[in-house]
Amino acid sequence: MLLGIVACGAEPAAAPAPEDSAPAAEEAPAELPKVAGKRGPKVTVDRSGPEPVVTAFGIQLNDGEPPPDAWHWHEGDVMLGGGPRMPMVHVPAATFTMGSGPFEEGRDADEVAHEVTLSEYWIGATEVTRGQWRAVMGSDAPDCYSACSDEHPVTRVSWDEAVAFTNTLSLRLGLRECQRQEFGSWVRDPGCDGIRLVTEAEWEHAARAGTTTPYSFGTRDELCANANGSDWWGRSCSDGHSDLAPVKSFPANAWGLYEMHGNAREWIWDWYGSYPTELVVDPMGPSFGSSRCLRGGSYENEDRFLRSAFRDSIDPTVRTGNVGFRVARSAPAR
């Protein structure tokens, strides 16, 4: 695989030397640096002029792997510049029923069931961790009073700070920022293939992982073994954590996503608003609002707040210890 931009097409042929000129002296090739025992940089040289010019270069590895210190995207495995990796899960295009039925236990009136068609996308296998935050932002994660390891979800970040993380990661990967401010409001380019926040529909589709039950693992009877929620919700339920748990502490759902139920509530791209009743395609929520959506529930919440369909929202400037986020990326055009 070639990392970096390499000039396309064949190298131009060198101009023939005059017949009466002496042949140019051959220079010994420079020693190429090695990368983890692989081949060194591949260099593209333009020899059409009087002096050879290096037009582009990249690291060519003979096994298709990027160098260990690269910022690199490869089929959902995001390398964070020599720091921790950020695995992402591919979700194929599909149509699903978003919301809950009238007889689902614990449902709220704003969970109106409706059909949603989504294009394919990628979503973070875990909530963004403190270690990943440091690798991307170049500084320590926000203040933490407990559950502060590099494997714990980063929390105490506002919605704007979560967006800043996704934009920074996009730039480090050589991708275009998907979210920008126009006249004081955030807008998103729907055709952008950079890293971004998850939409509400994408989140619920991924959380359900093809299920129609309140939780991806079934009912609340299985909650304690599968989610980090409140240990007291009408009956004893010890899930082993009284605070945030490190990511991957609980089993993944059928699509390989961890802690979609409980642990930290997750910032969502959408403004909070009423659902439509008709089929919608790739919805991104209302254009304006006063609070941003949250999904998933947290370690402090009782069972009904951890359901796949449950909707929550708060002011986007709030920073609190039970709110984090995960990232997404629209699938690049094939």
Taking the model in full, what pTM does it have?
A: 0.78
What band does 61 get if pLDDT is binned at 50, 70 and 90?
very low
Span 214-238, average pLDDT: 82
DSSP 267: E
Adjacent-strand bridge partners of 98: 114
Percentage of the chain surpassing pLDDT 70? 77
Query: For residues 105 and 307, what is the distance between their CA atoms, to the nearest angstrom?
Result: 10
CATH fold, domain 71-330, is paralog of FGE (formylglycine-generating enzyme) (3.90.1580)
Count Cβ atoms below 10 Å from residue 164 Cβ, excluding itself. Answer: 15
CATH 3.90.1580.10 maps onto the chain at 71-330
Percentage of the chain surpassing pLDDT 90? 62
The mean-pLDDT minimum among 51-65, 210-224, 257-271 falls in 51-65
Query: For residues 130 and 147, what is the distance between their CA atoms, to the nearest angstrom?
Result: 10
Q: What is the enclosing helix (H) or strand (E) of 188?
A: strand 185-188
The answer, yes or no, to whether residue 89 has pLDDT greater than 50, is yes
Q: What mean pLDDT, rounded, does the chain reach?
A: 82
What band does 7 get if pLDDT is binned at 50, 70 and 90?
very low
pLDDT digits 0-9 by tens, 103-154: 999 999 999 999 999 999 999 999 999 999 999 999 988 888 888 999 999 9
Task: Tell me which residue of 318, 312, 301 sits closest to 270, measured CA to CA.
Answer: 312
Task: Tell me which residue of 122, 142, 123 sits closest to 133, measured CA to CA.
Answer: 142
The answer, yes or no, to whether residue 226 has pLDDT greater than 80, is yes
Q: Cα-flanking dihedrals φ and ψ of residue 89, to 5°?
A: -110, 135
**6/76: higher pLDDT:** 76
The answer, yes or no, to whether residue 215 has pLDDT greater than 80, is yes
Adjacent-strand bridge partners of 96: 116
**CB-based burial, 300-330: b 16+ in 10 Å, e otherwise:** bbbbbbbbbbbbbbbebeeeebbbbbbbbbb
| Secondary structure (DSSP) of 302-316 | -GGGGSTT--EEE-T
